[in-house]
Amino acid sequence: MNNLSSVLLSTLLGLVVGFASARGLLLPSWYILIPWCIAGALVGAYLGTWRLALVAGAAYGFTLSLSFLITGFSGTPEQLPSFGLLLLILGALGVVGGIVSSTIGYQLRMLFTARK
């Protein structure tokens, strides 16, 4: 699998997990962070290079945050400007979370494959 398809697959995973989370198909409340982190770690563990794990993790985290927030938005059109600012801020936090979780997954894979 090439780099672009890996990033696109991670983006699709973020969309699916974010949508499922907003619709209550996964765990409620703060516990939702557990499957988010596991999915991000799987992204990093699957990819072959650390750089690709960072890029795909960032794409995963960003699309996860945006799809979760947009799917769960139930405001009025007047609230869209402030909601857009919230999307930017939490999208950036999603990038950080995606990078951290995919880096953990990549490092765990390196740790376990080095011991064999």
pLDDT above 90 covers a percentage of the chain that reads 68
CA distances from 111 to 35, 98, 104, 107 (A): 22, 20, 10, 6
Exposed (0-12), middle (13-18) or buried (19+): which is 10, by Cβ within 10 Å?
A: buried
- Say yes or no to pLDDT of 45 above 70: yes
Predicted TM-score (pTM) of the model is 0.90
pLDDT tens digits for 57-93?
999 999 999 999 999 888 888 898 999 999 999 999 9
Residue 6 Rama label (left phi>0; alpha psi -120 to 50; beta): alpha
Please compute, for residue 44, the number of CA atoms within 13 A of its CA located in the half-sphere on the CB side.
Answer: 26
